[in-house]
Structure 1
Amino acid sequence: MATDESGADEVAIDAPTYFRIFKSGRIERLHLPPALPAGLDEATGVSSKDVVLDSSTGLTVRVYLPKLQDPSKKKKLPVLVYIHGGGFVIESAFSSSYHNYLNLLAATAGVIVASVEYRLAPEHPLPAAYEDCWAALRWAASAQDEWIAEHGDVARLFVAGDSAGGNATHDMLVRASGNGDDGPTSIEGAILFHPWFGGSTLIDGEEESSWEFNARFWAFVCPGAVGGSDDPRVNPVAPGAPPMEKQLGCKRMLVCAATEDKLFARERAYYDAVAASAWPGTVDWFESDGEEHVFFLNKPECDKAKQLMDRVVAFIAGA
């Protein structure tokens, strides 16, 4: 074990360039991309603004409105709630990575995006992030915001997220199915970009080091998890987990993966479980060959990222 500069605290979990977690529970956040302000994005024509939903917790949503091609036609746009990744411990809806990507997504797909700035662990362990995302999803569905009320079609509500945000997207589907405290919410579709799942038992194709890391990390971000890394929130296919068809409160789903992602085996297992279940919806699989985890955030202009965007646009459009 390494020690920090004072020699007083041992490192428990080390994710180089991203974060370092100490046995005391302290975290060093190493990945700190610049935060960008909301406003007009000249490159895409997308306008954005920040809406504070709960000043006591800091829960905020950044709303993106694409340039209207013909405002006189009053065409209603789909509404997509986006949940950023970062292992529930780093990143932000305001970071350059997400702000730039969601400007591009809003413009290309012709969709209003509501990106959630939720509370992070360890200061706020799970389920705090889930609760924030659920509150934001319910807010978007209520069309309280003037942009969503005037230009959005909440009957075409989508939820999406990458990595930990993909994990949270699944939790939103569980809640939307009616298993949450607030009753069901109608969701047209869900997009899981390289979602983070785990489990107590190594599965085919999964690296032992990745499996062991994820189990320790889950215990850190969700210390109250029942069943450890077989908690259904991180392992929806664990023994004893509810049948998949009772977990999915949406009509359609797209699961996206990258072949060089260490989470690939878990992502495929999740997709296979959904496809084999009695869930009446439709699920599609999209694979980016030769790419790594959430590559599209770092290089959105590469060919594989454009292919992924094309598939996402088609999915939102109903194809």
Structure 2
Amino acid sequence: MASETEPDAVVFEAPAHFRIYKSGKMDRLHRPPCLPAGVDEATGVASKDVVIDAGTGLSVRLYLPKIQEPSKKLPVLVFFHGGGFLIESADSSTYHNYVNPLAAAAGVVVVSVDYRLAPEHPLPAAYDDSWAGLLWAASAQDGWLAEHGDVSRLFLAGDSAGGNIVHDMLLRAAASNGGPRIEGALLLHPWFGGSTVLEGEPPAAAALTGMIWCYACPGASGGADDPRINPLAPGAPALEKLACERMLVAAGQTDGLAARDRAYYDAVAASPWRGTATWVESEGEGHVFFLEKPECEKAKQLMDRVVEFISAGSPA
């Protein structure tokens, strides 16, 4: 720790996102406004917050689209936000303004998990919270889920670190006895890394991933080759164990993570996994562009692909 007379040195700064000091503390520079739950005027989607673990403070935000047919049950989508495990939240404007139109367009009940953040709560806290949120959603304890949700049609989705969480959830579901059946998984610009730079991967992107990972998960074995951040590392759980029937992996062509995302997709598709995988690449777009400019044509196209993926398994 820095002394009272010695300034705490900055060891890393992601401009407009966060600043990390030698002492281990962090300044969150990216603080979008938190929006209250309620009825979204643009989409008619209703939302509410539910605390599911008073001990940890774990909560979820539920989204219910306009009910067109009261007798029809809707698929349930569990969503995990991004932010490098360090920033963002389920109630931030970034994600509230993305999930509302997602719930409306796809016709799904969404459970957006507000997991705890590092460094105050180092990993695996976010994974453990996300698993608790998934199990809670699958149990349909809430009235909205019980009345309107079809938990036999369960989907997982997440962007960046949230996409990484989706991968971890699929492995946990496979390893658990009687875990929830997951129909589909959407990994949107998932955050993966590794100590060896891949072809087409900017070395700076690989180094940045490794640095953030070790900060968020200081106890990680293998550093950037911990299987949770590098699912292709030697000794990582076999991809054939992924507990979903269908998968969509999306990347932005100019994203520094695109090479990792493609390598993950290729490995899943080439594995003995018995599901079907789909690759979606947005030409000329960077990391999570669909959150930053949701009205652009490429973001609308990606939303269409997400909706198409979810509706593909709907009964006729």
Structure-1-length-normalised TM-score: 0.95
2:203 matched to 1:208? yes
Q: CA deviation at 1:7?
A: 5.6
Q: Secondary structure at the match of 2:169?
A: helix
Q: Which one-letter code corresponds to 2:214 in the other structure?
A: A
Which residue pairs with 2:228 in the alignment? 233
Q: CA deviation at 1:242?
A: 2.2
Which residue pairs with 2:25 in the alignment? 26
Map 1:163-312 to 2 at 5 A. 163-178=160-175, 180=176, 183-246=178-241, 248-312=242-306
Contact 1:13 1:217 in 2 (8 A): no
Contact 1:167 1:197 in 2 (8 A): yes
Q: CA deviation at 1:260?
A: 1.0
Contact 1:58 1:118 in 2 (8 A): no
Q: CA deviation at 1:240?
A: 1.7
Counterpart CA distance in 2 for 1:121 and 1:242 is: 24
Q: Secondary structure at the match of 1:184?
A: coil
Counterpart CA distance in 2 for 1:196 and 1:302 is: 23
Q: CA deviation at 1:183?
A: 4.7
137, 142, 148: which one pairs with 1:140? 137
Q: Secondary structure at the match of 1:161?
A: strand
Contact 1:118 1:133 in 2 (8 A): yes
Q: CA deviation at 1:300?
A: 1.0
Q: Which one-letter code corresponds to 2:96 in the other structure?
A: H
Q: Secondary structure at the match of 1:267?
A: helix
Q: Any idea what the Cα deviations from partners look like across 1:208-231, whole Å, max 9, x if unmatched? A: 111111111111111111111111
Which residue pairs with 2:106 in the alignment? 109
Q: Secondary structure at the match of 1:157?
A: strand
Counterpart CA distance in 2 for 1:159 and 1:185 is: 11
Counterpart CA distance in 2 for 1:95 and 1:29 is: 14
Contact 1:63 1:112 in 2 (8 A): yes
Counterpart CA distance in 2 for 1:272 and 1:312 is: 19
Q: CA deviation at 1:19?
A: 0.2
| 5+ residue gaps, structure 2 | none
2:113 matched to 1:123? no
Contact 1:275 1:283 in 2 (8 A): yes
Counterpart CA distance in 2 for 1:70 and 1:177 is: 34
Q: Any idea what the Cα deviations from partners look like across 1:252-286, whole Å, max 9, x if unmatched? A: 10001000111001000000000000000000001
Q: Any idea what the Cα deviations from partners look like across 1:60-95, whole Å, max 9, x if unmatched? A: 000000001133xx1110000000000000001000
Structure-2-length-normalised TM-score: 0.96
Counterpart CA distance in 2 for 1:51 and 1:243 is: 35
Contact 1:189 1:316 in 2 (8 A): yes
Contact 1:83 1:166 in 2 (8 A): yes
Q: Secondary structure at the match of 1:187?
A: coil
Which residue pairs with 1:42 in the alignment? 41
Q: Which one-letter code corresponds to 2:148 in the other structure?
A: H
Counterpart CA distance in 2 for 1:223 and 1:79 is: 34
77, 88, 91: which one pairs with 1:91? 88
| 5+ residue gaps, structure 1 | none
Q: Secondary structure at the match of 2:166?
A: helix
68, 72, 76: which one pairs with 1:75? 72
Counterpart CA distance in 2 for 1:213 and 1:97 is: 23
Which residue pairs with 1:161 in the alignment? 158
Q: Secondary structure at the match of 2:172?
A: helix
Q: Any idea what the Cα deviations from partners look like across 1:1-43, whole Å, max 9, x if unmatched? A: xx9xx86111122111000011111000000000000000111
Instruction: Name the % identity.
Output: 67
Q: CA deviation at 1:56?
A: 2.0
Counterpart CA distance in 2 for 1:260 and 1:275 is: 22
- Please say which of residues 49-58 and 129-138 is displaced more in the overlay: 49-58
Counterpart CA distance in 2 for 1:67 and 1:176 is: 30
Counterpart CA distance in 2 for 1:142 and 1:130 is: 18
